[in-house]
Amino acid sequence: MLAETITEGLNPEQKRAVETTEGPLLVLAGAGSGKTRVLTHRIAYLIGVCGIPAESILAVTFTNKAAGEMRERVEKLLGPGADGIALGTFHSVCVRILRRDIHHLQRDRGFVIYDDADSLGVVKETLRRHDMDPKVHDPRRLRWRFDQWKNQGLLPDQARADAADIEEEQSADLYATYQKLLFDANALDFGDILLQTVQLFERFPRILEYYQRRWQYVLVDEYQDTNRVQYQLVRQLAEGHRNIAVVGDPDQSIYAWRGADVRNILDFEEDYEDARSIKLERNYRSTQPILSAATAVVKNNLDRPDKTLFTDHDGGDPIRYYEAFDDRDEAAFVIGRIERAHREEDMPYGHAAILYRTNAQSRSFEERLLEYDIPYTIVGGQRFYERAEVKDVLAYLRLVVNPADNQAFLRIVNKPTRGIGKTTIERVQVFAQREGLPLVTALGQYVDTPEGQRVRAKAGRFLSIMSDLAQARERQPIHELISHALHATGYLEALAKEGTPEAESRVDNLKELVTSAEDFHVANQDDLDPDRGELELYLDQVALISDLDSYEDRNDRVSLMTVHSAKGLEFPLVFLVGLEERIFPHASSMRDDGGIEEERRLCYVAMTRAMRHLFITSANERRRFGEHHYQSPSRFLAEVPEELIEVLSEARRPSRGQRVRQAEPAPVRDGYDYSYSQDMGGEEGGVAKGTRVRHPVFGLGEVLAVMGDGLNQKLKIKFERAGVKTVMVRYANLELV
DNA sequence: TCTGTAGGCGTTTTT
DNA sequence: CGCCTACAGA
């Protein structure tokens, strides 16, 4: 194949990045600078021009979507020659390694992958084993801590050795128990997948050598988002041949909270001496105003390498800013604009994206879109494979594959209810712990003990379902197996009996699951692993899939997603919403400078998603947790040069009558406080029994009773239309009448 | 043991 | 506000 065919159309820097095949290479690629292009052309160049076998190339990404896109584009360049490239996420690559070699760590190759919910269950079990109260020791927080340790590449004993205080030591002990429980369940959590791989390589150099020899060329995408373990893994694999190419952008490092360390990319040239580095600064995506605005914002970060993006796209709209009265007004504005562009300019709905900081913000937009009957997709939030009904069925299958999967067992022993309640389960747990058995096995033996007699018949039904499924698995393809399980377990029947709209939608989801399993079956027909059945492969896949991965950019739907999810995507028309202090930047990021800088990078990522039009909005008043909060526009807004912004309107607050106010501003309650809430109430406002007030929702009413004072003062009010309600003075937004 | 409901609590971002 | 858990009653 001719080198020119592959490098054609690349700019000089991109071309250099493609042709520099040997030795360590750092590509600093600004937003929209053709990063994926470089990666894919580089792979094609290695194979097509240098004659490197596809099998010798490893390319790692963070999302399956990025991996899929890359494979597609390489295939376009090479045709079927692209088969055999190891191309996947860090997690999927490591799972493949572990499926082959984890037995060296004295573990079973048939392990299951635990998701967040499963692992939270294990944390709770951990606390139980230590006789600790989950109310005192927050399970989520503990899990987060374990995860951080894993991200750092630390096993329990190392974590304990590094512990700064008694409390951390205690957590490290819990971590040890947690790992033991995972081990017993023959399960790995997300963090383990990476950590155990690094462990494997560290302890068995000969296995590492095998992979080093196999993958002569290693490419890493989004290198700025790698954490410690990922860094170690890359290092291990690149040792020896040192053909390591990493691509990334320090300005787009937005995963520090997950243990990512920008230093990995910033220090690359020191880590790998004689590394070459190439900067891609030409932007092919956005107009100049958008680029200038985004750059102006991120330039406020002190800790960043100098880099300026430029574009040939001359002209372009200024950024438009709308300050909304409240979240509903904000949604109305955004949807109105989308509708107008669709109607007047024939813009396909798929060209528009609404980006927000937190998932919870999607609601008001969703409502409005529904109202206007505009098609949309929400990426993230509740994931398909995390829906209760889907997880339930999958739990049956997981238990078939791996009887040690106690989380799966606990999830479905009594689902649908078959009379195996809490007491029975607790007894079985005790029995299992004493005998050192997995729970299913323990249940089988428990029913033969004298105290187990009572549940014998009920448990027998469950156990026979399990053995029926085990047999069905031998002869049925995955989608039929799932369908079989839905019937055999009585799951569908139970839902049908409910008859609620909710149950119906669950049935729909389960149908969709069967359909998608059939797709999987068809797609995987040819590469069957004799060692591992279809079911195992399927379970791996669903465990590692994310919502974004199944997101197809359909041309006819508005996209709604968090800024994090939007990384790597682009849209002609972008609405960056909720640009308010304490939302973006988020309140929890304000504890240290690093937090604010990460938020600022996040803002940069958000703005650079826009190709042609960028709208920014903020709302003065917002309901959160059902309470009213007042916030000021984000500091990031002030960082955009004035001449690049067109302000569309000043929000005016409707003023009717005197507001009920509290004399003193609210003291900050804690780090999470949204203290822009307007505090009202107290005697100063003149609220007393008999006072007539107006509530924004309930209308006119009369105060029946005043309860408490200060911040937590509540009023019992009899409303003319809404009846008697109790409201918190400081959130109710009352007016004196 | 199951089912319904009251109360508490939470939201940052995700492979 | 809405979800989940804990608890009470059947």
A420-CA/B1-C1' distance, Å = 8
Query: Which of A's residues 424-443 have CB atoms within 7 A of nucleic strand C?
Result: none
pLDDT score, position A527: 61
pTM over 0.85: no
Q: Is A625 within 7 A of strand C by CB distance? A: yes
Question: In this predicted model, what pLDDT tens digit does every residue of A175-190 receive, in sequence order?
Answer: 999 999 999 999 999 9
Catalytic site residue A107? no
Nucleotide with C1' nearest the A549 CA: B15
Beta strands A571-576 and A352-356 are: parallel
pLDDT score, position A528: 60
Nucleotide with C1' nearest the A423 CA: B1
Contact predicate A488/A469, CB 8 Å: yes
A136-CA/B7-C1' distance, Å = 18
Amino acid identity, position A661: R
Contact predicate A374/A367, CB 8 Å: no
pLDDT score, position A659: 35
> How large is the angle between the packed helices A190-203 and A228-238, nearest 10 degrees?
40
Query: Which of A's residues 215-274 have CB atoms within 7 A of nucleic strand B?
Result: 254, 257-258
pLDDT score, position A726: 55
Q: What does the block give as tokens for A581?
A: 């202090």
pLDDT score, position A664: 29
Ranges of residues in chain A whose predicted pLDDT is under 70: 1, 381-382, 526-531, 546-554, 626, 650-690, 695-699, 704-735
Catalytic site residue A609? yes
Nucleotide with C1' nearest the A627 CA: C1
Phi, psi of A529 (to 5 degrees): -90, 120
Q: What does the block give as tokens for A239?
A: 């040792």
* Of A147, A222, A326, A580, catalytic: A222
Query: Which of A's residues 553-582 have CB atoms within 7 A of nucleic strand B?
Result: 561-562, 564-565
pLDDT score, position A618: 92
Instruction: State the Cα–Cα distance between residues A253 and A688, nearest whole angstrom.
Output: 53
Strands, E, within A577-721: which ranges?
Answer: 610-624, 627-630, 645-649, 692-695, 699-707, 714-719
Nucleotide with C1' nearest the A623 CA: C1
Catalytic site residue A581? no
Catalytic site residue A36? yes
Instruction: State the Cα–Cα distance between residues A388 and A593, nearest whole angstrom.
Output: 39
Nucleotide with C1' nearest the A256 CA: B13
Q: Find and give the residue nearest to B8, measured CA to C1'.
A: A135
* Of A21, A36, A441, A445, catalytic: A36
> How large is the angle between the packed helices A456-475 and A439-446, nearest 10 degrees?
130
